[in-house]
Structure 1
Amino acid sequence: MSGSMVRGRKASTEAAAVIDGLLGVSRVLVGLTARSLGELDADVTLVQTRALVLLASRGPQRTVDLAVELNVAPSTVTRMCDRLVRKGLVERYRRGDDRRATWVVLSEAGRDLVGELMRQRRRAIADLVRSLPIEDPAGLAAALDSFVQAAGEIPEAQWTRRWRASAVRPADAIPA
């Protein structure tokens, strides 16, 4: 067997181990989110939570763009936003330059819910991290940051800044 085949098989095995590890981490993180939602007694589903988090990190969104991001039909996002509006977590509006498109923005209550959810998750993750023997914290942090960015997300410090400003409706907003 050639050296390149051995290296290729080893790289494939190592990649599979990383993938398996990240799958386990994803189960833990979804579990932490569900637990945090239960502790907050928040009457929102995981998909609704994802929509709220997207609005917090990316600002106001057209409903059609939110549907693409969530990988659901636009009608599904419309119904989901109906529920979130009734719960006071988002507001709908139209823009003066295009009254056909409906936009969604977090309400202050929605921003506050996302903030509290993130604070609870941060505490739970911090507890887990403190229990780990991490040999290279800076290296691990850099690898995780690269993973986050590869997934199209933004680093935590940038996310926090966007979250703080997420309940601001644009000046040209017209209630929908």
Structure 2
Amino acid sequence: MTPETCSEDAKFVLVKDILGFIQKLYTEALVVPQGLLETEITMPQLQVLLLLRQHGPLSMGIISKKLCVGLATLTGIVDRLVRQGFVERETPPDNRRVVICHLTPKGNDHYQSLWQFTTDKVAELLDGVDNEGLSIIRNGFCQLEKSIANKLTAAESTDRI
């Protein structure tokens, strides 16, 4: 066995362990509070809310591409979000073929409630970790953030070609 093979095997085991820990974290931290379940929001609707929260107003076409769903399917999802008061649609006067979606204050509040619940739950889980452990976890997330930034930069340069 070569040193490279040993290194790759060790990396595989480490990644597998990390993914197991992430799964446990999701299981513990991402329990949806009852109040949010009562809105009868579906996972595709939640994905639209998250996209709009992260990127701001987006056209139906862009949302469709980002979620890998057809425009007809997306129209049904957005119709329900509009009826629930979470999203509004607008048509720019200069291009009536484009439909822009954005969060309403109620949609933003709904997102904030979910995010607050999740962060409170993660903070509760981290409360049992000492300062040294918290520093190690933070440093690990900093490494992950660098990896994400590198992948995004690489993807952007590929997209330009």
TM-score of the superposed pair, with normalisation by structure 1: 0.71
Is 1:67 matched up with 2:64?
A: yes
Residue of 62, 77, 82 corresponding to 1:80: 77
2:146 — aligned with what? 146
Is 1:122 matched up with 2:157?
A: no
Instruction: Name the count of aligned residue pairs.
Output: 148
Runs of 4+ in 1 over 3 A off after TM superposition: 30-33, 146-152
CA 1:136–1:114 in structure 2 vs 1: closer, same or farther (change >3 Å)? Answer: same
Is 1:38 matched up with 2:34?
A: yes
State the identity %. Answer: 24
More strand by share: 1
Give structure 2 stretches of 5+ with no counterpart: 153-161
* Larger RCO: 1 or 2 (CA < 8 Å, sep 6+): 1
CA 1:150–1:72 in structure 2 vs 1: closer, same or farther (change >3 Å)? Answer: farther
TM-score of the superposed pair, with normalisation by structure 2: 0.76
Give structure 1 stretches of 5+ with no counterpart: 153-176
1:92 partner SS: strand
Return the offset for 1:16: 4.6
Return the offset for 1:24: 4.6
Return the offset for 1:116: 1.0
Return the offset for 1:112: 0.5
RMSD: 2.6
Which residue type is aligned with residue 142 of structure 2?
A
Is 1:96 matched up with 2:93?
A: yes
1:136 — aligned with what? 136
